[in-house]
Structure 1
Amino acid sequence: MSEPYRPRRSVLYMPGSNERALEKAKTLPVDGLILDLEDAVAPDAKPGARENVCAAAASSAYGQREVTIRVNAAGTPWHDADLEAACAAGPDGIVVPKVGSADEVRSLVAAMERHGAPDRTRLWAMVETPGAVLDARAIAAASDRLAVLVLGTNDLVKELRARFVAGRAPLLTSLSLVVLAAREAGVAVLDGVYNDVVDLEGFEAECRQGVDLGFDGKTLIHPGQVEPCNRAFAPSQAEVEDARGVVAAWAAARGRGVVTHDGRMVENLHVEVAQRVLAVDEAVRSRS
């Protein structure tokens, strides 16, 4: 179920009703965009926003950026029309809020196929409730069309009756369970948003935490968060040099005896980690 690595360090929500924002997105150094029809759009603006984002997604104006459309959730008055229009536009992905089970994934995939979504249009499922966290393993494995799990941390905090605190202690179990599910299924997983767009120090700390937990990247709500997020989720120069050293030491040994690098024992698993670091670095550099 795994697919070639695609950088998703920074994935920025853009309100579908704001044409100026959609235009600005063409210039931002993001890996991905979520053109939003849900939370960022008032009910009376949703039909116009749908036209805006579908036209944007169908264009080739966003270069290497991965372009997705977030539709309104199943059961809302706008979901069916959103999904049909998004499938016709053929974006890289369709982001669906509040996906709660493997059956919902299969139902969404069937609807995408009914509406003629091209093969390249993947499903991104948002995990935003306790039930979805507990079923994340089944959700992640429900369809080969599902490519990404996206944490909806704001909704999750609300559903848990938890508090927004530095370090996110109330969320750590949920975050780790979803990362575990994604890794077993071979799909990507994105951390939730950071709400305080002025607090860059806190934002960068949360990015580092996301890296430590194993996320592929983070969803963002402001252009000012893009560059620090890209830095956090890309290997540092020191990590790249160390990875090259590990791979070189392993190659030089040719399977003979114990291999060491900078005083550390090197096994095949360390080589695989180093090769991934180099692959991520190469993919990131190819985008700049």
Structure 2
Amino acid sequence: MEKQNPESLLRKAQALGDDIKEMEAINVPTAYRKAQIKIRNRRKAEAYNLLMRYAAFLTLPLLLASLTLGYLYFNEPEAEVKYAEVTSAMGTVVRYELPDHSVVWLNSGSKLRYPTVFKKNNRNVELTGEAYFQVEADTERPFYVNTPNGLSVYVYGTQFNVAAYDNDSYIETVLEKGKVNVVTPGGQETITLLPGEQLLYDKQTCQTVKNQVDVYGKVAWKDGKLIFRNASLEEIIKRLERHFNVDIEFNNNAGKEYTYRATFRNETLTQILDYLAKSANLKWKILTPEQREDDTFTKTKIIVDLY
């Protein structure tokens, strides 16, 4: 065996002594506790990271669901609007209550179209013919009466009459109570009516004329009455046609103009013609209705001549 140098042995002995002193200086319980703390902190960090990944995975669908619900709530599609119609046959008057409890009277040969459920911000109806409206007041939802020619009447709660027959040359609005606004086709003009006023809109010239009128004479038809105030024969003949559901051919052979002031309640058509003939040379004849191929009959026709 090789003999080691004493100095080398001394250095090794000193190094061994230093190692022993360092090992003796270690506090084993403290080092153990520190190691345990490091292990727990490491486990907590790993658990936190894992939890965050799970949370992100679960939050994404929840976020998408919340966004979807929010979109549907604020962009809720409007339900399909369903409409109903009420008509009044020629020669009859119909009283009808609308979904908002407004009441409408339809004159002979008229039709009203309306949604079965009115919208939250308005109440729109479509009229062909003549109707008297008693509108339930609602300041949040204006009530619109739309006519085939584009003229509209809107109110918040009042009583008025609109005549918009297809074969008339004008559209007439008469206000009994409250206030109405008449909007001409295309929204070009808005005209306000006060009680007792009438607005005539000429379909051909698109001109409007406002007058003071006897309102009851204009709306008494809903009570079964015919009231004429300075009415021409042409106007009377037209109203008699609708009221009695007949065709009247009027021939003004004399070229004269007659106006009448009269009230009729339960009189027959011939009685009314007799009355008119007292102040004018008026002759008439009733033609016998003809039978059609389907066994129905044509409407009664009356020829009235003014000489």
Task: Give me the TM-score of the superposition, normalised by structure 2.
Answer: 0.27
Of the two structures, which has the highest relative contact order with CA contacts closer than 8 Å and spacing of 6 or more? 1
Could you say which structure has the larger radius of gyration?
A: 2
Query: Is the strand fraction higher in 1 or 2?
Result: 2
